[in-house]
Amino acid sequence: MRQNKENEFRQLVSESLRESNDSYTIQELFQRFPTATELIDVSEQQLVSIKGIGKGKARQITAMLKLAKIFTHPEQSNNAIRSPKDVYNLLEPELRFEQKEHFICLFLNTKNRIIFKEVISIGSLNAAIVHPREVFHAAIRRCSASLICAHNHPSGDPEPSIEDVNLTKRLIAAGEIIGIEVLDHIIICGNRFFSLKEHGLI
């Protein structure tokens, strides 16, 4: 489902620029910025470094992306996270049929409203490899006050692994240094979820 959305996004960008989907410009653009999430905050300076994209085309791309952001951002920012159940309700429909682990971060403002939701990593059947630098690079880029981590367990068991707990502790420690609080880590599995904070594991 996610792949279909990415392909649709790529097609829309191609049509907006009047380029074929397999043109050098489109190929190079999506090689550098493979997903909509990575492309959404691209700068004109980054775009003009790609052969075939001048200042005019760069402005066209950034304007199109800003427009997309305007229409998606208000819906996300209206979501206030008050409990782990709120995280579950938000993410369960998206993760319901995924067969690989998806590690997602919800970036929050000072009122615990969602600034942005981002898939940080997609792993194998039972592992999503995540590094703190990926999480906090995204958090700083979104000017987050705090964040909540979440991932799914396709195995059918929401209980956290030792690796899940250790990763969360590493993220919390990194967040304390940077000044961005990690509020919780939610594991979603079917109609169940597990909050590391509620269970006293962090």
Kindly give, in sequence order, each residue whose CB lies less than 8 Å from that of residue 86, ignoring residues fewer than 6 positions away. 79, 80
pTM, full prediction = 0.63
Name the fold adopted by 2-77. Answer: DNA polymerase; domain 1 (1.10.150)
In tens, the pLDDT along 28-83 reads 888 887 766 667 667 777 888 888 788 888 888 887 777 666 555 444 445 789 99
| Token pair recorded at residue 153 | 């367990």
CB 167 within 8 A of CB 179: no
In tens, the pLDDT along 98-126 reads 888 999 999 999 999 998 898 898 886 66
In tens, the pLDDT along 3-30 reads 566 677 777 778 777 778 778 888 888 8
SS3 54: coil
Q: Strand locations in the chain, DSSP E?
A: 102-108, 114-122, 146-152, 181-189, 192-195
- In this chain, the answer to whether the domains covering 2-77 and 84-195 adopt an identical fold is no
Q: Cα separations (Å) of 153 from 34, 191, 193?
A: 25, 11, 10
DSSP states of 68-114: HHHHHHHHHHT-B--SHHHHHHHHHHHHTT-SS-EEEEEEE-TTSBE
DSSP 57: H
Nearest CA among 116, 188, 173 for reference residue 145: 116
Nearest CA among 143, 201, 138 for reference residue 172: 201
Superfamily of domain 84-195: Cytidine Deaminase, domain 2 (3.40.140.10)
What residue spans define the domains of the chain? Answer: 2-77, 84-195
